[in-house]
């Protein structure tokens, strides 16, 4: 992974909004499923839980996305973590190595579209754990799952620049991911 630049949460959020915030399926998920007035309110709530605005963010370019992305840890989201035997401990390759999950995601619409036509230039978001350097994916789960499937199947994906916005998760914040997982992002709960 190669360092590109320092950035701000506002810039990271603007990129996220550009990539996801105008997608009708994500807007529908935020409003109809989660009960928020709009996509931005939903995502800002999650950002507040992790203290995104108070963190120092840096942009990196991945050197070998086919190796680096499948090894990233799955973020603290109930829809993803409920598919795993241990919460907040598994990487995308671990998810795909569970036969029923592999079969599920091979047919998942968003993942299939990524496998067929991966976004050439894309940016994901995560934390890098201070204690061990592992990356926790906070945004980009469908793309990461598609890459993990492609890696498992030895299938080549056409990548442009794959960048990641990262902030450090300090040792003393170890429990933050479990706390975020406990507090769902639905307004209906």
Residues 6-27 have pLDDT tens digits of 999 999 999 999 888 888 988 9
CB 167, CB 55: distance < 8 Å: yes
Q: Look at residue 129 in the predicted model and tell me its pLDDT.
A: 94
Region of 88 (left: φ > 0; alpha: ψ -120 to 50; beta: rest) is left
Residue 188: pLDDT over 80: no
Enter the pTM of the model.
Answer: 0.91
Rg of the chain over all Cα atoms, to the nearest angstrom: 16
Cα 177 to Cα 66, 102, 165, distances in angstroms = 25, 24, 18
Kindly report the average pLDDT of the chain as a whole number: 91
**Span 93-121, pLDDT tens digits:** 999 999 999 999 999 999 999 999 888 78
Q: Look at residue 184 in the predicted model and tell me its pLDDT.
A: 59
C-alpha angle with apex 53: 24 to 90, nearest 5 degrees? 70
Helices then strands, counting H and E runs in the chain, come out as 10, 5
pLDDT band at residue 147 using 50, 70 and 90 as cut-offs: very high
CB 152, CB 93: distance < 8 Å: yes
**Span 41-60, pLDDT tens digits:** 988 988 998 999 999 999 99
Q: Look at residue 186 in the predicted model and tell me its pLDDT.
A: 55
């Amino acid at each position: 992974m190669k360092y590109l630049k320092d950035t701000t949460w506002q810039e990271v959020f603007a990129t996220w909004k550009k990539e996801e915030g105008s997608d009708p399926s994500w807007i529908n998920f935020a409003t109809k499923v989660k009960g928020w007035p709009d996509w931005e309110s939903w995502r800002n709530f999650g950002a507040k839980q992790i203290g995104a605005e108070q963190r120092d963010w840096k942009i990196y370019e991945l050197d070998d996305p086919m190796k680096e992305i499948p090894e990233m840890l799955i973020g603290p989201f109930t829809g993803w973590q409920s598919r795993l035997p241990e919460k907040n401990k598994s990487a995308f390759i671990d998810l795909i190595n569970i036969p029923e999950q592999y079969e599920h995601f091979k047919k998942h619409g968003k993942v299939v579209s990524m496998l067929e036509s991966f976004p050439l230039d894309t940016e994901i978001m995560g934390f890098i754990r201070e204690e061990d350097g592992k990356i926790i994916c906070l945004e980009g789960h469908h793309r990461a799952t598609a890459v993990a499937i492609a890696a498992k199947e030895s299938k080549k994906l056409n990548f442009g620049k794959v960048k990641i916005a990262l902030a450090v998760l300090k040792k003393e914040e170890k429990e933050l991911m479990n706390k975020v997982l406990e507090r769902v992002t639905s307004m209906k709960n």
